[in-house]
């Protein structure tokens, strides 16, 4: 494995392996934006992986259809890029209703959430992404809406202010969050179904890549799909993004069929290595090894050395390294593990 010098601090750049959606990918905000759309499974039967989640939701959908009611409110939580928005759209398809998509930061003023609620048709889905970021006023509008299909509006001001109630059609709120713990308990308690999405296993990821390759009409060998699966950090959104970059290289080079060697070449062009680490991950580990003997070293010290802010380092760079077991958080600071050293081609030292 090539060692990349940490060098001087550089500002953070968009990352090919960032699991959060970029503008143009659904989930990046409200509105009909759709780069991922062609690859999204439309029905539960096409949705690969997350078997427990699918089982629970299939039963809920069937029971709901039989009763001709609205589906219970659903909270989906887990890391970004695992298919929360996709699952909301699948649920709507299975129920034969529309799904309105928005995200909490777009619901800044009371009238934003009120406008969405009053325009819902019976049994429709309202998907709110990043629901942990709802402000208190929006949350309080949602409570009676979720519980009793009721919208309580305050009209007038000061001493003349009065509350008027409006009946809403039965609807389903699908909330999505990467931070279930940040949700207030009154809001969390109003969801009938609370489900976690897990990182995908390698077999499911390979199947997802093969399915996407079929839809994009790319002749991708099974071994090549596996190579993409290994590099996508357990995340379908990243897998699909990597696959498009591989397709670019294949079409420029005039390759008809794509084998594993071409995947490796295409992704090393983007500095994504065979375990899905990119330049930012390697800069962090290399800085720790070169300057701090592998740690322990404090997060703020590392952030200063890399020219990143600590929060970005903690939320964006560290989680996958922790998940791979390349990095450890200890009370005395961060530590590169033996596996992390070995991945970067460093001899075993005093690391964990
Ligand atoms: N594309 C992205 N996520 C998927 C999934 N879970 N199943 C099938 N295709 C997908």
pLDDT at 30: 44
172 CA distance to ligand 1 middle (Å): 23
Dist CA 196 CA 168 (whole Å): 29
Q: Are 89 and 137 in contact (CB under 8 A)?
A: no
Which atom belonging to ligand 1 lies closest to the Cα atom of 40? 1
213 CA distance to ligand 1 middle (Å): 12
Which atom belonging to ligand 1 lies closest to the Cα atom of 39? 1
Give CA torsion, residues 123, 129, 133, 136, to 10 deg. -10
pLDDT at 80: 87
Pairing relationship of beta strands 150-155 and 162-167 according to DSSP bridges:
antiparallel
90 CA distance to ligand 1 middle (Å): 11
Dist CA 283 CA 166 (whole Å): 56
Dist CA 95 CA 318 (whole Å): 39
Dist CA 200 CA 234 (whole Å): 5
Q: Taking the model in full, what pTM does it have?
A: 0.86
pLDDT in 10s for each residue of the chain, 352 residues:
444 444 444 445 678 888 877 654 544 444 443 456 689 999 999 999 999 999 999 999 999 999 999 999 999 999 889 999 999 999 999 999 999 999 999 999 999 999 999 999 999 999 999 999 999 999 999 999 999 999 998 888 888 888 899 999 999 999 999 999 999 999 999 999 999 999 899 999 999 999 999 999 999 999 999 999 999 999 999 999 999 999 999 999 888 899 999 999 999 999 999 999 999 999 999 999 999 999 999 999 999 999 999 988 988 889 889 989 999 999 999 999 999 999 999 988 654 4
For residue 178, give the DSSP letter: S
Q: Are 181 and 191 in contact (CB under 8 A)?
A: no
**Residues with Cβ < 8 Å from 336, sequence gap 6 or more?**
285, 288, 289, 294, 295, 326, 327, 351, 352
Ligand 1 contact, 296 CB (< 6 A): no
Dist CA 126 CA 117 (whole Å): 8
7 CB-contact burial (10 Å; exposed 0-12 / middle 13-18 / buried 19+): exposed
Helix-then-strand count for the chain, H and E: 14, 11
Question: The tokens of 275 are what?
Answer: 């375990």
Q: Which of 346, 282, 349 is nearest to 10 (CA)?
A: 282
pLDDT at 34: 43
- Site to probe by mutation for ligand 1, drawn from 82, 89, 208 as the one with most ligand atoms within 8 Å of Cβ, is 208
């Amino acid at each position: 494995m090539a060692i990349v010098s940490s060098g001087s601090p550089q500002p953070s750049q968009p990352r090919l392996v960032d699991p959060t959606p970029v503008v143009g990918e659904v989930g990046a905000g409200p509105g009909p934006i759709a780069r991922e759309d062609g690859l999204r499974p439309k029905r539960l039967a096409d949705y690969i992986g997350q078997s427990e989640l699918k089982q629970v939701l299939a039963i809920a959908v069937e029971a709901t259809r039989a009763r001709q009611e609205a589906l219970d409110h659903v909270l989906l939580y887990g890391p970004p890029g695992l298919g929360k928005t996709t699952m909301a759209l699948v649920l709507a398809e299975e129920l034969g209703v529309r799904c309105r998509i928005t995200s909490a930061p777009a619901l800044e003023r009371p009238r934003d959430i009120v406008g969405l609620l009053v325009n819902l048709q019976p049994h429709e889905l309202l998907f709110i992404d990043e629901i942990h970021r709802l402000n208190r006023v929006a949350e309080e509008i949602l409570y009676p809406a979720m519980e009793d299909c009721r919208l309580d509006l305050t009209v007038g001001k000061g001493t003349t202010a009065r509350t008027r109630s409006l009946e809403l059609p039965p609807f389903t709120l699908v909330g999505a969050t990467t931070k279930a713990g940040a949700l207030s308990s009154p809001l969390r308690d109003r969801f009938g179904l609370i489900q976690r999405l897990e990182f995908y296993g390698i077999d499911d990821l390979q199947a997802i890549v093969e399915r996407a390759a079929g839809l994009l009409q790319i002749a991708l060998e099974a071994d090549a799909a596996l190579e993409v699966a290994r590099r996508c950090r357990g995340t379908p959104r990243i897998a699909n993004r990597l696959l498009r970059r591989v397709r670019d290289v294949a079409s420029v080079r005039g390759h008809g069929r794509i084998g594993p060697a071409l995947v490796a070449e295409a992704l090393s062009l983007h500095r994504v290595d065979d375990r899905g680490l990119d330049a930012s991950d390697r800069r962090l580990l290399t800085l720790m090894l070169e300057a701090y003997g592998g740690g322990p070293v404090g997060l703020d010290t590392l952030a200063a050395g890399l020219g990143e802010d600590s929060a970005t380092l903690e939320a964006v760079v560290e989680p996958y390294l922790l998940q791979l077991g390349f990095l450890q958080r200890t009370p005395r600071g961060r530590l590169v593990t033996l596996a992390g050293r070995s991945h970067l081609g460093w001899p075993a030292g005093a690391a964990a």
